[in-house]
């Protein structure tokens, strides 16, 4: 078939585009002018990383940091954004994002302008998209790594950024990359995870699929024991397409990939993956230059940086800067930028424990680092390890569905640990979530807590469920412990930390200790709290002055609403891209099928926009007939549609696809133009 090389897939997207802020500004104008309803606006703004808060009239902006990799110039950009637009500090998240809070809606477009101008993006940091792709925080310096996982995550992020296929999936997808089997990236608890391995002397990746936390957590299963790097784009695409094809769009709580795998059955899902993967491997993918693989210089699986620093294979040092609860002021961000430049750091990276790493430091530069950090209110890597061991989500300080003030409780734990540090062993990692959704990853914690409500003497009181011994790298969530009142939870954590210090046998992990004790043994450790009679302060949460009122009635925004017309339009654009890819591969029958799919999706979008329901299972002829009989069949659309049919017939006769492709493009441009999207 001739004309097969039309519109080959481009290489990875730039992270920042000025057009993103312009697109957002236009959407904001439509919403404020009454042209968009709340559902369409919510879907749109979340895709641009703009979240609602517990407080009315202000927004949170989530900034996407692929792989947690932070060029040093970004620190100053973040400082300016925090100072000029946000109220309060910037927040490092457990998915290596940065979040800014309390930004008035009318200022969000200006904030995105500034963000994009600085080379950063919030695009697809929310919504039913491919979220920020994580990586090991010490990637690029780790002596155990086979490849820089941060670079891999950055590349993968750019492969999928703005791709029409992933703008409105059934639910979000979380992905990660680990540079070695230690799996610091957390592949077992992500929808899709890669772990760098070697097989028969050849480097590549092991792939896991279907992990996740939240109210119903699940450990990922093995998708492939080995895949070469050049096949990674096809592997990701295959999983994404299976998610879109099989995951529900009606039951939001069961739309994540792990529920789809459970419903289909693991073997059936894996069989479908192998078929889809083989189908896609022969198609054009975006460019993937060879990675810089390396041989590990260390194989130990113990704690990597117990003193807050690690020496890289090239002799430079990576230093972990403790950031209490992941909060950095504008002045501290500016200070970190100056410190990084002064001490010759190559770049910074964010950790999943809400800290920051400076990479590429000369060993002799460390002597003055502690003093420089102290001058901006931060501890040195060695002195601040205990403070860095507490991870929290914002809880009710900003979150619409938070139950407890997890952040205020986290500050209390930091104070307790400073007063009674873990001197003879590495600090115990504590994770606190304000509700069951596990934004702090409490299921993966050595000591985890999640907020909930219990009624005491007829009144709602904040409580925490305890979780102990999470070891997700080895496929084990934390052992569930008892529920304790929030105002006793600090004492519960202290009792558990003391028991870990006194009762563990040599070499025993927190996981093994928790399993050995079991739920009954853990409950016995906390018996000193059981005799505590309810007090009035039980009904006022940490950091609050007003009585606790129980869980909010608001709905969260992580399960973003679906905007049907945009969803169908995005899939139509993807089908047109597949038409080009099949032509480039000389697979004419599949190209014809993709062309018809693009036509059907474009017409379905037009019908839905006119309030005419069309089922996903309707055949092309049914959709086309309904279109011709509908008010949507205006002369403009009829002309574009008839042109597609005529040029398809001509292509079958002449063997040339160019005019058929042009007709498809015209149809999509005609039908998608009302939303501002064109081919």
Q: Are residues 365 and 395 in the same domain?
A: no
Q: Are residues 227 and 265 in the same domain?
A: yes
pLDDT of 592: 94
**pLDDT, averaged across the chain:** 93
Is 161 a domain residue?
A: yes
pLDDT of 3: 33
Report the distance separating Cα 664 and Cα 647, nearest Å.
9
Is 11 a domain residue?
A: no
Reduced to 3 states (helix: H, G, I; strand: E, B; else coil), residue 461 is strand
pLDDT of 677: 39
Q: Are residues 28 and 149 in the same domain?
A: no
pLDDT in tens, 40-84: 999 999 999 999 999 999 999 999 999 999 999 999 999 999 999
Spell out the residues 6+ positions from residue 250 whose beta carbon is closer than 8 angstroms to its own: none
- Select the more confidently predicted residue: 232 or 366: 232
Picking from 281, 299, 323, the residue at the C-terminal end of a domain is: 281
CA-angle at 40, arms to 37 and 43, nearest 5°: 145
Reduced to 3 states (helix: H, G, I; strand: E, B; else coil), residue 190 is coil
Is 181 a domain residue?
A: yes
CA-based radius of gyration for the chain:
26
Report the distance separating Cα 39 and Cα 563, nearest Å.
7
575 pLDDT above the threshold of 90:
yes
Is 576 a domain residue?
A: yes
Q: Are residues 609 and 477 in the same domain?
A: no
Residue 30, domain CATH:
3.90.480.20
- Please tell me the least confidently modeled range out of 151-155, 491-495, 655-659: 655-659
**Taking a C-beta distance cutoff of 8 angstroms, is the pair 398, 100 a contact?**
no
Instruction: Supply 484's token pair.
Output: 């304790």
pLDDT of 293: 97
Chain mean position to CA 632: 39
Beta bridge pairs of residue 163:
none
pLDDT of 424: 66
pLDDT of 7: 31
Is 462 a domain residue?
A: yes
Is 353 a domain residue?
A: yes
| One-character DSSP codes across 403-453 | -S-HHHHHHHHHHHHHHS---SSPPPPEEEESSTT-TT-GGGSSEEEEEEE
Q: In terms of residue numbers, what domain contains 324?
A: 309-380
Q: Are residues 469 and 586 in the same domain?
A: no
The four Cα atoms 10, 15, 21, 27 give a dihedral, to 10 degrees, of 60
Q: Are residues 96 and 180 in the same domain?
A: no
pLDDT in tens, 433-463: 999 999 999 999 999 999 999 999 999 999 9
Report the distance separating Cα 448 and Cα 389, nearest Å.
12
Report the distance separating Cα 591 and Cα 584, nearest Å.
9
pLDDT band at 615 (very low <50, low <70, confident <90, very high): confident
pLDDT in tens, 543-555: 999 999 999 987 7
Residue 612, domain CATH:
1.20.120
Is 640 a domain residue?
A: yes
- Select the more confidently predicted residue: 110 or 565: 110
pLDDT in tens, 194-250: 999 999 999 999 999 999 999 999 999 999 999 999 999 999 999 999 999 999 988
Picking from 357, 380, 403, the residue at the C-terminal end of a domain is: 380
Q: Are residues 609 and 492 in the same domain?
A: no
Q: Are residues 313 and 449 in the same domain?
A: no
Reduced to 3 states (helix: H, G, I; strand: E, B; else coil), residue 295 is coil
Q: Are residues 396 and 371 in the same domain?
A: no
Q: Per-residue pLDDT averaged across 573-602, rounded? A: 95
Q: Where are the beta strands (DSSP E) in 278-342?
A: 309-311, 317-321, 327-328
pLDDT of 387: 67
Instruction: Supply 669's token pair.
Output: 């441009």
In this prediction the pTM is 0.93
- Name the domain count of the chain: 5
Pairing of strands 134-135, 175-178: parallel
Residue 165, domain CATH:
3.30.413.10
pLDDT band at 279 (very low <50, low <70, confident <90, very high): very high
10 pLDDT above the threshold of 70:
no
Q: Are residues 525 and 400 in the same domain?
A: yes
Picking from 354, 380, 406, the residue at the C-terminal end of a domain is: 380
Q: Is 90 exposed, middle or buried (0-12, 13-18, 19+ CB in 10 A)?
A: buried
Q: Are residues 318 and 205 in the same domain?
A: no
pLDDT in tens, 309-360: 999 999 999 999 999 999 999 999 999 999 999 999 999 999 999 999 999 9
pLDDT in tens, 624-659: 999 999 999 999 999 999 999 999 999 999 888 999
Report the distance separating Cα 391 and Cα 324, nearest Å.
8
Q: Are residues 248 and 317 in the same domain?
A: no
pLDDT of 198: 97
Is 527 a domain residue?
A: yes
Question: Does residue 462 come out as left (phi exceeding 0), alpha (psi in the -120 to 50 range) or beta?
Answer: beta
């Amino acid at each position: 078939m001739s004309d097969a090389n039309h519109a080959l897939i481009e290489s990875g997207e730039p992270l920042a585009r000025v057009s993103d802020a312009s697109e957002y500004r236009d959407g904001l104008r439509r919403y404020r002018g009454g042209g968009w309803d709340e559902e369409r606006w919510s879907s749109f703004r979340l895709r641009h990383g703009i979240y609602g808060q517990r407080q009315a009239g202000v927004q949170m902006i989530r900034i996407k940091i692929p792989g947690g990799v932070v060029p040093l110039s970004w620190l100053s950009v973040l400082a300016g954004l925090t100072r000029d637009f946000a109220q309060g500090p910037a927040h490092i998240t457990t998915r290596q994002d940065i979040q800014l809070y309390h930004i008035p809606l009318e200022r969000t477009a200006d904030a995105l302008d500034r963000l994009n101008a600085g080379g950063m993006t919030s695009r697809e940091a929310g919504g039913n998209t491919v979220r920020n792709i994580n990586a090991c925080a010490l990637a690029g310096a780790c002596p155990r790594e086979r490849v820089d996982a941060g670079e891999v995550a950055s590349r993968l992020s750019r492969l999928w950024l703005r791709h029409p296929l992933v703008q409105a999936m059934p639910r979000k997808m979380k992905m990660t990359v680990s540079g070695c089997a230690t799996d610091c990236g957390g592949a077992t608890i992500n929808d899709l995870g890669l772990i760098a391995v070697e097989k028969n002397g050849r480097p590549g990746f092991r792939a896991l699929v279907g992990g996740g936390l939240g109210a119903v957590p699940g450990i990922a299963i093995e998708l492939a024991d080995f895949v070469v790097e050049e096949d990674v784009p096809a592997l990701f695409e295959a999983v994404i397409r299976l998610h879109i094809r099989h995951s529900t769009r009606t039951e939001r709580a069961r739309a994540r990939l792990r529920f789809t795998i459970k419903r289909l059955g693991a073997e059936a899902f894996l069989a479908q993956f192998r078929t889809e993967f083989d189908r896609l491997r022969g198609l054009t993918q975006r460019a993937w230059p060879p990675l810089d693989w390396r041989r590990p210089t260390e194989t130990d699986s113990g704690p990597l940086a117990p003193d807050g620093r690690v020496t890289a294979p090239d002799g430079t040092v990576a230093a972990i800067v403790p950031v209490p609860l992941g909060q950095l002021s504008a002045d501290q961000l500016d200070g970190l930028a100056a410190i990084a430049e002064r001490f010759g750091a190559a770049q910074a990276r964010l950790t999943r424990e809400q800290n920051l790493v400076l990479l590429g430091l000369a060993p002799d530069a460390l002597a003055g680092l502690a003093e420089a950090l102290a001058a901006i209110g931060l501890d040195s890597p060695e002195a601040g390890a205990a403070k860095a061991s507490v991870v929290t989500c914002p809880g009710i300080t900003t979150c619409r569905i938070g139950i407890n003030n997890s952040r205020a409780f986290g500050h209390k734990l930091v104070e307790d640990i400073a007063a009674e540090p873990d001197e003879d062993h590495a600090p115990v990692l504590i994770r606190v979530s304000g509700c069951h959704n596990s934004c702090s990853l409490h299921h993966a914690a050595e000591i985890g807590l999640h907020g909930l409500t219990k009624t005491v003497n007829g009144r709602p009181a904040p409580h925490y469920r305890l979780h102990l011994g999470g070891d997700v790298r080895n496929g084990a969530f934390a052992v569930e412990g008892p529920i304790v009142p929030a105002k006793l939870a600090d004492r519960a954590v202290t009792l558990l930390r003391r028991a870990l210090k006194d009762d563990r046998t040599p070499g025993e992990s927190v996981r093994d200790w928790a399993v050995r004790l079991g739920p009954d043994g853990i409950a016995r450790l906390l018996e000193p709290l059981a005799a505590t009679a309810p007090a009035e302060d039980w009904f006022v949460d940490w950091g609050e002055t007003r009585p606790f009122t129980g869980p909010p009635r608001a709905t969260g925004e992580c399960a973003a609403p679906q905007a049907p017309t945009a969803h169908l339009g995005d899939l139509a654009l993807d089908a047109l891209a597949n038409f080009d890819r099949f032509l480039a591969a000389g697979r004419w029958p599949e190209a014809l099928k993709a062309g018809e799919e693009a036509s059907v999706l474009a017409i379905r979008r037009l019908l839905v926009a006119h309030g005419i329901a069309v089922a996903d299972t309707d055949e092309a002829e049914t959709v086309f007939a309904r279109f011709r009989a509908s008010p949507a069949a205006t002369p403009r659309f009829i002309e574009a549609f008839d042109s597609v049919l005529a040029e398809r017939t001509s292509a079958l006769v002449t063997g040339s696809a160019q005019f058929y492709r042009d007709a498809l493009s015209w149809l999509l441009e005609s039908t998608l133009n009302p939303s501002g999207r064109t081919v």
